[in-house]
Structure 1
Amino acid sequence: MSRDDLGDRLSAAVGGGDADAVRDLLESGADPDTTFVDGLSVMCAAIAAYDVALVSALVEGGADPCLTQPDGSTPLERAIDAGSPDTVAAMLPPDVVRRLSEATRERLLASARRWYARGAAGELRRRTGASGPVVSVRLLDDEYHYVDQVSLGGRTVRAGHGAILTALEWSFRVPTPVDAIIDRAIRTDEYHVDWWTACWTLSRHRSQETWSAVVAHRFHPAQRHRHFVALYLRLLESPVGGTPFRSQESGDLLAVWALEEDDGGVLARVLDTYTDHEHPLLESVGLQLCSHPDPRVRAQVPYALVEEFVVTSAAARAALAVLVHDPVPEVRMAACGAGRKDSGLQSAITLSLVGLATDPDPLVRHAAAEQLAFSSDRSATVADTLADLLGEEDQSTRLEAAYGLALRDHPRTAEAIDRVGELGVGFEHDHRASALRTWQWKRNRAHPG
């Protein structure tokens, strides 16, 4: 196949969003900097489509992120303008970063700072001269974190420039005050790309200076600052170089903080982070908060009262026995899950879960089905409750119920499998679906024909 034919096919694959075909063509010798139908490189087309898989395939295949385009721009500059942190990250693996000149780095940083300072809508107005209304749509930029996509004057960008600026500073080793990075985060929330990138980046710094500067914000009067610190401390438990960073100090701080924090939302996050630690005061803190007025806090307490699902003391067992009958379903569910291996709590947990299986909220009924399925309680009451859940509209709830019946080799398992219905893509390696297939195989083996 000629190089021109390969180029045409590569352009078609990029236009069709087929990353696998792009990789195959690049391995066959296609030019990764092939010109697309609009005269720009195929990389620019992938960036405009916000197709990270295509961008990654092209970068891995040797495309030049700094290739000058007919209009004088480069793909990297276009990616920063486009405002997707995920796209920019895909274009800047370590080997590419090392090749960037100081002048190029400064130019990229200046662009990100300009977009962030003016805001996506403001910079679009400046560039297009348009004065009409801005159209904004919230969407995911990566698998978990959202960004606003802004359209004005015939142009569309994503407003992720705070995250891009933070990531560029980290990649280029630009010293940035901790307070400035946190300020970018707290203008949003923990599910925004700016918040997540700021928190993740600071958690990677791993220095006493950074740790002290971040945790100082736990005394900030604004709730979002304190919320940020709790998430930061949680991320520090992700090992870099083999061990978590300042885990003992973080645990000591969280133990004190949990008994001082007066905002229920922040305290729930603090406890969520604290219960990831093995700390000598964990049970004591949990016991002091088990009757907290905010159910978000009470829903975190059970995890402070167990170690690997083993109840830590008689006092912890007594507290869980109360929490499994809490008036709020989410609290009951957490207590049932945390104490599920404790034989002294089993009857109370079963009673609570059977009640939750008829809750008006389908999400609660699903969670009850999940816990009842793997419960060690093999009573007829539990089996009948699982059978009743086969009538749920939600297929995943029916699957949980059928799984529980199969584990018990219940007479209604065959019916349960029929009630689950055909499972779509994504269940090939699902443990519940596998259990149902195994049950069917054993039955057919025992009763051939």
Structure 2
Amino acid sequence: MGEGELDGRLRSAVRAGDAEAVRDLLNRGADPEAVDASGLPVLCVAVAAYDAPVAEVLVEGGADPDRVLPDGTTPLWCAVDGGSPAVFSAVLGKEPRLRLSGPARERLLVLARSWYETGVAEELRRRTGAQGTAATVRVQDGEYDWVDQVSLGGLVVRAGHGAILTSLEWAFRVLTPVDELIARAVEQPDEEHVDWSTVCWILTQRRSFETWSAVVAHRHDPDRAHRRFVVDFLRMRGFFDPSPHYEKNESELLAAWAAEETDVEMLVKVLDAFTDRDHPGQEAIGLRYAGHPDPRVRREVPCALSTDCVPRTAAASAALLTLMRDPDAEVRLRACTVSMRDDDLLPEITQALLLLIEDPDADPRGAAAAALAGSRDRTPAVADALAALLDEDNQLVRLEAAYGLALRDDPRTAEAIERVGPLGDGFEHDHRADELRRWRWRKDNSAAG
């Protein structure tokens, strides 16, 4: 295939949004700097289409994010202007602080800051002269986050410039004050908004005790959004940087916070983060809230009562037994699942799970089926309950039931496998499907022998 034909196919693949085809064509020799009919590089085509995967492949394949365009801008400038943090991140490229001159870095910062401080709708009015209300729609940006996409006067821009500004500052090692960054995050008080998630991520990368202290100081802020941000920061930081020093400080902080917090929504979040860590005071906190009037709080208690730091006390076991009879199905389920390896509690766990699989709500019913399937209880009552679940409409519940029967080598397993039906894609490495295959293999080989 000639070079011109490869470039033509590359342009078509970029317009079609086919990142894998773009990668393949670049590997075969297509020019990453190929231009379209208007003379713009294909990287700009991907940027204009908000196609982050294609833009990323192009930059990785050699497309220049700093190429000067006919209007004096660059693809990176266009990505900042467009307001999509996902596209911006794809186009930013390696070592931007070393690659770009000081004036070039400052111009990009000014552009992002101007969009953010002016507001997308107002900036579109200024650019287009259009009046009236801008049309706004929530769109996914990247794999996990969302952002508003704003249309006015024939222009469409995503309102992710707060996240872009935050990322640019960090890329250029501009250490923006922590309080200013958190103010950007909580302006859209949603953990899945691009501004919130980007600020949280960048602050976890600033690995200094000063940054950590400035963030956690917001746990005393009267605004719930600030306190929520602290919890989100602690969870993300602990996941990506589990250093013993910070782990101990954060466990102590969360222990004190859990004892003090009075807002139910915040208490749930704090307890959820607290029980992710090992702390000798977890059981005391669990016992403190075992009788809380709000079921959302009680749902966090079983994990606190099952800490690995210290052996479970008689008081904790008694509290778990009470929670297994809680009016809330999710509380009962969690109390059962955290206690599955406790032989002393197994009869009560089994009884609670047998009741849960009769719950009218499909979610606790399915979770209870999974717990019963893997339970060490091998009594006929459990096997019969699993067999009864083969009539469920939900295929995953039927799969759990068949899996439990196979583990018990129950004579109804062959029928159960048939009742599960074809599983389709995505189950190649599923432990339940593997067990059914092993069970069938054992029976086939036994018959052949």
Q: Which TM-score bucket, shorter chain as reference? A: over 0.9
* Cα contact 1:43–1:75 (8 A) shared by 2: yes
1:190 aligned residue: 191
* Equivalence map 1:91-102=2 (5 Å): 91-102=91-102
Matches within 5 A, 1:208-287: 208-240=209-241, 243=243, 246-287=246-287
Does 2:444 match 1:444? yes
Corresponding residue number in structure 1 for 2:73: 73
Q: Is the 8 A contact 1:132 1:153 kept in 2?
A: no
Aligned equivalents of 1:138, 1:404: Cα separation in 2? 43
**1:93 positional shift:** 4.1
Q: Please, which moves more after superposition, 312-321 or 415-424?
A: 415-424
**Runs in 1 of length 4+ with deviation above 4 angstroms?**
308-311
Residue 416 to residue 138, structure 1, CA distance change in 2 (3 Å): farther
Structure 2 vs 1, CA of residues 125 and 393 (structure 1 numbering), >3 Å: closer, same or farther?
farther
Q: 1:323 to 1:10 in 2, by over 3 A?
A: same
1:340 and 1:349 in contact (8 A); partners too = yes
- For the aligned residues, what is the CA RMSD? 2.1
Query: Does the Cα contact within 8 Å between 2:283 and 2:307 map onto a contact in 1?
Result: no
Say yes or no: does 1:126 pair with 2:133.
no
Asked if residue 434 in structure 1 is aligned to residue 430 in structure 2, the reply is no
Is the partner of 1:306 in helix, strand or coil?
coil
| Secondary structure of the structure 2 residue equivalent to 1:344 | coil
Please give the alpha-carbon distance, in whole angstroms, between the structure 1 residues aligned to 2:364 and 2:66. Answer: 51
Distance 1:374 1:310, change over 3 A: farther
* 1:210 partner letter: T
Aligned 8 A contact 1:309 1:339 in 2: no
- Residues of 2 paired with 1:157 and 1:377: CA distance? 58
Kindly provide the amino acid, as one letter, of the partner of residue 36 in structure 1. D
Distance of aligned partners of 1:128 and 1:420 in 2 relative to their CA distance in 1, 3 Å threshold: farther
Moved more, 260-269 or 132-141: 132-141
Change (3 A) 1:96 1:413: farther
Please report how far the alpha carbon of residue 308 of structure 1 lies from its aligned counterpart in structure 2 after TM superposition.
5.1
Q: Does the residue aligned with 2:260 lie in a helix, a strand or coil?
A: coil
**Offset at 1:17?**
2.1
Query: What is the 5 A alignment of 1:12-411?
Result: 12-188=12-188, 189-240=190-241, 243=243, 246-307=246-307, 312-411=312-411
Report how far residue 386 of structure 1 moved. 2.1
What is the CA–CA distance in structure 1 between the aligned matches of 2:302 and 2:239, rounded to whole Å? Answer: 23
Question: Structure 1 residues 128, 205: closer, same or farther in 2, change over 3 A?
Answer: same
Identity %: 55
Deviation at 1:218, TM superposition (A): 1.0
Please tell me the residue identity of whatever aligns with 1:401.
A
2-structure distance, mates of 1:363, 1:132: 46
On the 8 A contact 1:310/1:341 being kept in 2, the answer is no
Distance in 2 between residues matched to 1:438 and 1:155, nearest whole Å: 58
Give ranges in structure 1 of 5+ residues lacking alignment.
Answer: none
Q: 1:409 is paired with a residue of what secondary structure?
A: coil
Relative to structure 1, the CA distance from residue 97 to residue 257 in structure 2 (aligned partners, 3 Å threshold; closer, same or farther) is: same
Change (3 A) 1:364 1:82: farther
Q: Deviations over 1:42-76 (max 9, x none)?
A: 11222233322212211111111111223333211
Asked whether the equivalents of residues 13 and 22 of structure 2 are also in contact (C-alpha less than 8 Å), the reply is yes
Hey, what's the Cα distance between the residues in 1 that align with 2:243 and 2:157?
39
Pairwise CA distance, 1:96: 4.3
Secondary structure of 1:376's partner? coil
Q: 1:149 to 1:440 in 2, by over 3 A?
A: farther
Alignment partners' CA distance in 2, 1:423 and 1:130:
54
Instruction: Give the 3 Å change call, closer, same or farther, for CA 236–403 of structure 1 in structure 2.
Output: same
Say which SS state the counterpart of residue 94 (structure 1) adopts.
coil
Report if aligned partners of 1:97, 1:171 keep a CA contact under 8 Å in 2: yes
Number of matched residues? 448
Q: Offset at 1:262?
A: 0.5
Structure 1 residue 82, shift from structure 2 partner = 2.3
Q: Distance in 2 between matches of 1:357 and 1:293?
A: 25
* C-alpha separation in 1, matches of 2:304 and 2:115: 44
Q: Greater CA deviation, 130-139 or 363-372?
A: 130-139
SS of the residue 1:238 aligns to:
helix
Q: Which moved more, 1:140-149 or 1:372-381?
A: 140-149
CA–CA distance in 1 between the matches of 2:416 and 2:104?
Answer: 62
Instruction: Indicate conservation of the 8 Å contact 1:309/1:341, yes or no.
Output: no
Quote how far apart the aligned CAs of 1:95 are.
3.2
Instruction: State the 1:148 CA deviation.
Output: 2.3
Identify if the C-alpha distance between structure 1 residues 152 and 310 changes in structure 2 by more than 3 Å, giving closer, same or farther: farther
For residues 214-252 of structure 1, the C-alpha deviation after alignment (integer angstroms, 9 at most, x for no partner) is 111111111111111112122221244x72552211111
Residue 432 to residue 71, structure 1, CA distance change in 2 (3 Å): farther
Distance (Å, rounded) in 2 between the aligned partners of 1:406 and 1:265: 42
CA distance in 1, matches of 2:421, 2:155: 45
In the TM superposition, what whole-angstrom CA distance separates every residue of 1:4-42 from its partner, at most 9, and x where no partner exists? 122111112212222222122212221111112443211
State the AA in 2 paired with 1:218.
Answer: R
Distance 2:75 2:343 in 1: 61
> How far apart, CA to CA, are the structure 2 residues paired with 1:309 and 1:383?
34
- On the 8 A contact 1:311/1:342 being kept in 2, the answer is no
Distance 1:401 1:121 in 2: 54
Deviations 1:371-395, CA, capped at 9 Å, x for gaps = 1221111222222222232233332
SS at match of 2:229: helix
How has the CA–CA distance of structure 1 residues 203 and 334 changed in structure 2, closer, same or farther, with 3 Å as cutoff? same
Structure 2 unpaired stretches of 5+? none
Give the whole-Å Cα distance in 2 for the aligned partners of 1:335 and 1:311: 17
CA distance in 2, matches of 1:138, 1:169: 26
Residues in 2 aligned to 1:396 and 1:139: alpha-carbon distance in whole angstroms: 30
